[in-house]
Structure 1
């Protein structure tokens, strides 16, 4: 932010003055330079104006790009927090409009991260897998934005418990949570709400995205988890969440879609655009 730092000393309280000064200097300076270099300006006025216009444009582009670096850094920080959950501190100390925006963004991100950290309590977590439990999922969904909800059930999981034992079944459940975490984004929600039933919430996702993510989860599970001749598959039910609605009714709807997939033989996605699409 070299140019920005320089202008911050001259115009510490106004981003607009920084921007205006850059445009004025980048427009006038090339014309002055051309006038000094070309003695007979009247004879070569066309060439001078053209050269000045090109030089002004190039200087303006580079100068404005430098001025917008703080805004670009702000956008990168927000994307990184949404993708990975890491809070990258923004520079502070500037007293103009952009400086205020950077400082307030730091405060808001820190506050949001603390709220997320507090949301993960023992009461809201599944002790076996570490994912949210039903109570934690319901509490987060109450204040969640619009998106899509996915109910996922492992097909014929009871056979694994019978054939391989409860301990091996528990280990597979933990593996499933890890696989889902690898597929999902940082701000997606994952919860274990029953023995072998999971809930995924995709904030801001479309119907098509929910269907694609369900298919990716199904493929990942079937490719990574198999015991002898038994390959683990999953069924999926999808439902749209408008945000701020009745959570219990939404859970009922998504479980009904899941039951449709199970009744159709399993390893199927119900509720997406491609009804009855194979999950893996």
Structure 2
């Protein structure tokens, strides 16, 4: 009983520490500019300006454009990664050929490369391809970088599927492509849901490459765009906080909409190789 109370106390303290900055951001998004300028950043707002702040984010700043850019970058990237990782995972999980494990190791090993060491080569490559400062550059990079992790996930998921299904497909004379379409695809939807949530969150929240590969405001996603809301001398922290909350909404909504499939995808495939 005492151990349970201690456990709950520790968990409660950790939650308070973890949620305190988020609570402060939410409160700041409710404040008026006068409240922010007076230094009241942790106390209860003296004036509630919820509608004004959240409306101003879209009317007084280019946040709507940044938001659209993020959708243009994130959605094709997620679709591309899911497609490539499913194809690669199917081949690596169900076909044995020379170099199979080497290729799989390359997919896995790419996840351990620090982003920073690729900054200059990736930027130079995009400049040579005349893709620098375009949404296409970010889509290409995210598809290339996230496919390694997604292939590891999909390969393990597909390897956990019953062998009898594939034996039956071969007995019926199905080609590998037909097996993929009619056997694998219907069964990997939970894995797709789990991966889609993870990939959407990773790509949507990316800040590093958004800064490295973009310069123009008409190309920047929301993460880089939020930094532009800071003024040179004075920053409207109430608007920045409101913009931050708006940016955080899509991944949260996506998670709750696909929560059931997300949990099923994690428990069915990611732990068995």
Normalised to the residue count of structure 1, the TM-score between the two structures is: 0.27
Q: Which has the higher strand share?
A: 1
TM-score scaled by length of structure 2: 0.28
Richer in helix (by share): 2
